[in-house]
Structure 1
Amino acid sequence: MRIPLWIEASRLKVVVFGGGSVGTRRARLFASAGARVRVVAKEVSPDIRALGVEVKLVDLREYEPNEDIKWADIVVVAVNDVALAERLFTLAESMGKLVNDATNAARTHVVVPYFREVEGIKVATTSEGAAGTPARLSLDLIDECIRRSWIPTFFRAYAAAKEEAKRRISDVRRRLAFYRELADDGEFMDYVKRGDLDSALRRAHEILRRYV
């Protein structure tokens, strides 16, 4: 069973086998998030060169990749050769590595979703390889729904109140009680749903005073 997680990419070492379009996208994604990226391929795209990541030019059909796999936290398989992809996946899995297999979504360990941030909320979608375009386009619909709803006001008011509570309430249980009361407070939520941020913040301060 796969579960969604947000991982601090700057702590990761990622080896990408394959220098084509998919390998380029994966290398760009991980490198842009601060991961150490190594691309191993016979040829790589100019875009990979421009990323400034480590590049090893080798023929993967003859190369022994054990050291590269051992070095990595995540192994990306993005090669066109089915037999080669099978060999790389099997080897990485036998070494206990998490694999993002762009050649076979059914066996991949790490799913790379489509994602974006909408009004402070990070949203990700995936079909796990079944239908990528609908998953990607669904982000547009989710984006529109969030922006047109009361969620942005709720986010701003709640986040501000939570930040103040963390500064002023040392007891964790009292803070949690405040968060619950805030979300359940009808007056606060009425202001939120009307888009009245100032009144929502004022009401949040009134509730907070009872916990300080």
Structure 2
Amino acid sequence: MRIPLFIEFEGKKVLIIGGGGVGTSRAKKFIEAGAVVKVLSLAFSDELKELEKAGKVELIEGDAFDRRRLEELLSWSDLVTVAIPNLEVNDLIIDIAKKHKTLVNLANDAEKTEVVVPFEGEVEGIRFAVTTEGKSGVVARKVRDSFRKMLEEDEETLYFLKAMYHLKQYMKANNVPVQLRMKLYFVIAADPEFRKLVSREDIEGARRYVEKLVEEYVSGKRKIDESLVKMQF
């Protein structure tokens, strides 16, 4: 079963097999993430050639069925993306990748792929990714765009994020014990006055209010309503 993760790819080594449109798109994505990218193909898009001139990618002319070369490249790679239409190469790559503990993304086979590259978006620090796991890229893109539009129009949620992030930073800076912090996130998020300040877009007021609440809960002046915490878990 696949699970969604956000993984830091700065400095990770990525091999792309295929120098066409899909291979180019995947290469650009990983380059932007700071990965070290190599592309193995018999031919390369003009865009990849320009990226090579800029020193952003290494292009390797060769056959995807060349086992000796695959062994060498996959032993180097953290992730391999197969972006060619010929499905026959998949089993060979999967076999070699397992030996070298290299993750496999099959852009040509949604069912057999180990890693899914989703459609992603971001609004004011809220990142999200969508996949239909091969059923329809068009639908996944539409859902991604719907999420983005919804968040862009939902200013209260964006203000809520800013206020909650301040709460997190404040509690960490003041060495509030982690177990208490976990409870206070939920308790303060449900506080009517806090939510009222957020809905009014009064971020400064919300920040001052959460600092006051933290001090009162830490000192014991206020008691935690455990039902709010249990309800969230």
Please indicate, yes or no, whether the TM-score normalized by the shorter chain is above 0.5: yes
- Aligned residue runs from structure 1 range 148-163, under 5 A: 148-149=153-154, 150-163=156-169
Q: Secondary structure at the match of 1:10?
A: coil
Q: Secondary structure at the match of 1:76?
A: strand
User: What's the offset of the Cα at 1:189?
Assistant: 1.3
The one-letter code sitting in structure 1 at the alignment partner of 2:47 is D
User: What's the offset of the Cα at 1:88?
Assistant: 2.6
1:28 matched to 2:28: yes
Gaps of 5+ in 2: 220-233
1:195 matched to 2:181: no
User: What's the offset of the Cα at 1:170?
Assistant: 4.4
Deviates more, 1:81-90 or 1:157-166: 81-90
Q: Secondary structure at the match of 1:15?
A: strand
TM-score by length of 2: 0.84
Deviation digits for residues 122-178 of structure 1 (CA, Å, limit 9, x no counterpart):
011011111001111212211121222221010011111211211112422232233
Q: Contact (CA 8 Å) 1:79, 1:85: kept in 2 or not?
A: no
User: Aligned partners of 1:170, 1:194: CA distance in 2, in Å?
Assistant: 28
Question: Which one of 126, 130, 134 corresponds to residue 129 of structure 1?
Answer: 134
User: Aligned partners of 1:130, 1:73: CA distance in 2, in Å?
Assistant: 27
TM-score by length of 1: 0.91
Question: Which one of 182, 197, 221 corresponds to residue 176 of structure 1?
Answer: 182
The one-letter code sitting in structure 2 at the alignment partner of 1:202 is R
User: Aligned partners of 2:65, 2:153: CA distance in 1, in Å?
Assistant: 52
User: Aligned partners of 1:192, 1:7: CA distance in 2, in Å?
Assistant: 31
The one-letter code sitting in structure 2 at the alignment partner of 1:201 is R
| Alignment-derived partner of residue 55 in structure 1 | 59
User: What's the offset of the Cα at 1:72?
Assistant: 0.6
User: Aligned partners of 1:40, 1:75: CA distance in 2, in Å?
Assistant: 10
1:110 matched to 2:118: no
CA RMSD, 1 decimal:
1.8
Deviates more, 1:78-87 or 1:104-113: 78-87
User: Aligned partners of 2:125, 2:26: CA distance in 1, in Å?
Assistant: 24
Question: Which one of 63, 70, 79 corresponds to residue 75 of structure 2?
Answer: 70
User: What's the offset of the Cα at 1:62?
Assistant: 4.4
Gaps of 5+ in 1: none
User: What's the offset of the Cα at 1:187?
Assistant: 1.1
Q: Secondary structure at the match of 1:22?
A: helix
The one-letter code sitting in structure 2 at the alignment partner of 1:42 is L
| Alignment-derived partner of residue 185 in structure 1 | 191
- Aligned residue runs from structure 1 range 10-21, under 5 A: 10-21=10-21
User: Aligned partners of 1:87, 1:58: CA distance in 2, in Å?
Assistant: 15
Of all paired residues, the percent bearing the same amino acid is 35
User: What's the offset of the Cα at 1:202?
Assistant: 2.6
Instruction: Give 4+ residue runs of structure 1 displaced > 3 Å after superposition.
Output: 93-96
User: What's the offset of the Cα at 1:194?
Assistant: 3.4
Aligned positions, number: 212
User: Aligned partners of 1:15, 1:62: CA distance in 2, in Å?
Assistant: 14
User: What's the offset of the Cα at 1:32?
Assistant: 0.9
The one-letter code sitting in structure 2 at the alignment partner of 1:31 is I
| Alignment-derived partner of residue 144 in structure 1 | 149
- Aligned residue runs from structure 1 range 38-53, under 5 A: 38-51=38-51, 52-53=56-57
